[in-house]
Structure 1
């Protein structure tokens, strides 16, 4: 009984929160200029924005010639084009792959998928400090502290449900920065300063707050006027979403959100799909997306095929933010079939046709890998039923192709299948195939 977790109710959306369709209209308005540049690049640059228009810096930065061309054709300045291009990258309208950039999947569904639009705006909201860089005269350490403290400032704005005077926000920022420094043991030994403003690493907090508020205003999260700041409907909704994520993490149904990726996936192995997805969401909400995706892919590279499949199920919950990392592992043989299927789903392939992205050899490799997971963790009858999912029309054809595909678990899978299958003749053929793979014979 002592291990029972106290479940906290998720925060309710603020009263008067617009419907998703209305929020999406607001997000489209904020990102209209970025979408315009992304569409121009899609139409004007072939085979894609990165093919002829980006510099080889690994960031998808526009070349000078392309920025000038876009400015001339769109009636903008090159600086405006670059700013809109950067916004398009941060919101997923443009995706960077190595030294190239191309239209993102969100651009393809921009006019019909409100969820995709809102997720794109939230990605920009999360990256507000990149979209609106701090002035050079502000110390990087102070800027980083401000970025880390702004969630508390935004929470105050959200709870206030109206304008908040800037001096009140400045007091809160001052308190939070002091807390952060104390937590990091960065306040010097000796007598404590009478006020936080006397701390040895003092920074111009008014200038920092002014930069942060204008940065958040630039992405459409709030408005600043007459010495006050007010969250926009989009900003209020986004802060509520972040609070909800924290509550989801705090009430992880099975309690796996504090574990490593591998342990979390193992803990989800026996859960029903909906319960497992709830665990994935809780686990993801408790850590940065980038490191979470890295940890999931690391778990997928291990020897346990079950974890490989579960890792990609968790990556489906991550969605579009995981796309660059998943695309980067396509050439890894153990992950390739999973990555190709994941990418096809993200790009909107019909669920009934998604398997068509795999070659016959890749499908066979995936069949063996899945069979290995079943053999290690499932019941014998599940392994027998797994035969029905093979792309080959007959068992002899399956065995022939399985022998050639080179999966490291082929022998173990065939031995387990032979032991489980009730048909003596078929079991004998499978054992023979296992022996031939083991000895390298024909």
Structure 2
């Protein structure tokens, strides 16, 4: 993108708006210019056309921009302002302005539909939309996972390169299982066969340590391997054979995982000229692709993989045979076999972590929480981990205890704890059935847990005390405090959730009375986030009262 022309255009637009007394949505216009520059080869204001607006608002925005459908009128209004500016500055003529406005009139009812159509989402938008912090409407498990995904970041500026972006904690397979898997990787099996064949026949490499052309042809015919040159280069790199081709390391000196770690480095970092995936450009981008999969720790649909490669400018549509690339990566031990998804193998996950560690990066390993005590479980879930891993840990932890034991340990560990920890404990307990009744009842005497215990009992049709108005307010503040980290991370999604299911104004007005340590923070968050102006104003007033009471 040419940042200079966009900055200059935005400055001129801001000045034009001030001169004419117009309230110009400069940020939205900048976004229009940025995306036009990035994806439509618009290099100056005069390059805008009616087709450019149609492509921007009905194709690029739905693919790239995480925005709710109801935001479409604001974007179209900004586009109309841009047309007015283009006409006023004589970047376009009157006839062109008429055509642009006509296109925008047609786009306006279509754009909300396009923004809501998930089939149009690009890869990045699909992934981040799936990570929405839906804390107030989700079930117990997903509430925990949205909290666990939020980690406190130091207040310093980060760059976006992989070396500076923190790596997530990963759960590794047992070393014995990894060793067995390493011995069965087809790529390594074929490399060892080739080395043994070379040594058995008294064959030697070239003076540069490469496979001779004649030997490569014979190996292809006799061993049924497709790329003996790659196999020999891999064998040398991993230490299966010396450069001279005179010895093979085996027996006590042969550690399959050491060989595998060197294999991962070879596959993702060496210039393999397309021999790994079948495409030169994809081989060159393999580190980035594997890094993305490592960070997601989830399988990615093949169509989204293709879109990812297109979005980063690696290929034009249709150039790479992705299923064939996945098959080749499965042969290399890096990907699970399959035609619909791309997913790292446990062996690849281990090998990439070894690679990161060797590069001096912090690559944390997630502990097994199924045998932890309750405080360790809660702390582990709050440290941030993928949803599937957290679900498995919670399920395993509960299986190791009776419902009564689980309640006693979880709720007993969070008395007096911060609301986030208490929220995690409560949402895990919410998974349990009526056989945990007596253990839950024991916490009716705990002021901070009593409202949650009453709610747990009443939702299961069990006898329970009525919640007082003060307890209803306290629990509302407590659950909103639980959602605060996710709300700060994704304020737009939080605002959407609050619009759908947030407390009404008359409840917010009374929240200042709640004796909760985070009531001021909660009310200030509501004051910033609520889209209903009346409710937001009530929250700001209540926050002022809560601060005043604390001072007094």
| TM-score bracket relative to the smaller structure | 0.3 to 0.5
Structure 1 or 2, whichever has the larger Rg, is 2
TM-score (norm 1): 0.36
